[in-house]
Amino acid sequence: MGHATIEWVYVGVVIAVLVYVGADAWNVEKMLTDAPPEAKVIKVTGQQWFWTFEHEDGTQEIGELHLVKGVPYRFEVTSRDVIHSFNTPDFAMMIDAVPGRINTIWFAPDQSGQFLIQCREYCGFSHYQMRAKLFVEEPTTSGGKVTNASADLTPSIGATAAAS
């Protein structure tokens, strides 16, 4: 059984690599899984074929989302009709929008600028155009507090359909 030894060594190496990958993934996911308690809540609703965002203070945006750099946000994602998937590829954030459920995901934008929000689960006719714009703004301080930058911007209704 000379061939058994080398095969065991090989299988051992493969298992060692897998254990490393699994352990590291577990570790990273553990860090990412819970939002910090001070995170601001944004309600995200997908429907055929646009996104609606509602900030904590009740302001709503359609097709655009304005966030402030460095502030943690927790998204409560749901859908009105079929399954969509809320995805910001630049921040590797993605969670399904499932009707009848609220899924949560969080992130704190670490760079400012304009980014893409898109639907990543097939949802019908205009799935490929179901996009929104994510604006991350530099924090403006007034009295040491971060203001909600979206309040002084008019939401552009219908901007969703416009391709990027």
Partner 1 sequence: MWEILFSTHHTDIGLLYIYLSTTAFIIGGALAIGIRSELFLPGNQGIIPDSNTFHRIFTVHGTNMLFFWLIPFASGIGNYLIPIMVRYKDMAWPKLNAVAFWMLPVSMALVWLGFADTTWNAYPPYSIIRAPGPAAEMWIFGLKIAGISSVLGAINFVVTILKMKHPDLPLMKTPLFVWATLVTSLMIIVAMPTFAAALIMLYTDRLGISGFFNPAMGGDPIAYQHLFWFTFHPEVYIFLIPAVGTAYELIPKFSRKPIFSYGSGVIAFVMLAIVGFASWAHHMYATGMSFTEKTVFMVGTLAAVPASAMHIFNWIATMWGGRIKFAAPMAFTVGGIVLFFFAGAGGIVNTAMPLDFLTHDSYWVVGHMHLFLMGMITFGFIGFLYYMFPLITGRMYNERAAMIQFWLMFVGVSMIFLTQHVLGLYGQPRRTFDYIPVQPLIILNQISTVGAWITAAGAAVFIANLIKSTVSGKPANMEDPFKLGEQYYDYARREPHH
Q: Give the residues lining the site for partner 1 (CB under 8 A).
A: 3-4, 6-7, 10-11, 14-15, 18, 21-22, 24-26, 28-30, 32-33, 48, 81-83, 85, 87, 89-90, 92-96, 98-101, 103-104, 116, 118-129, 163-164
Structure tokens, 138: 């530099």
- Nearest distance from C-beta of residue 32 to partner 1, angstroms: 6
Nearer to partner 1, 24 or 138 (CB): 24
Nearer to partner 1, 103 or 112 (CB): 103
Contact 115, 81 (CB under 8 A): no
Nearer to partner 1, 48 or 148 (CB): 48
- Nearest distance from C-beta of residue 152 to partner 1, angstroms: 29
- Nearest distance from C-beta of residue 51 to partner 1, angstroms: 14
- Nearest distance from C-beta of residue 113 to partner 1, angstroms: 14
Burial call 121-150: b when 16+ CB within 10 Å, e when fewer: bebeeebeebbbbbbbbeeeeeeeeeebbb
Q: How far is CA 155 from CA 27, 64, 66, 138, in A?
A: 39, 7, 9, 19
Q: Amino acid identity of 51?
A: W
Nearer to partner 1, 15 or 151 (CB): 15
The H or E element containing residue 152 is none
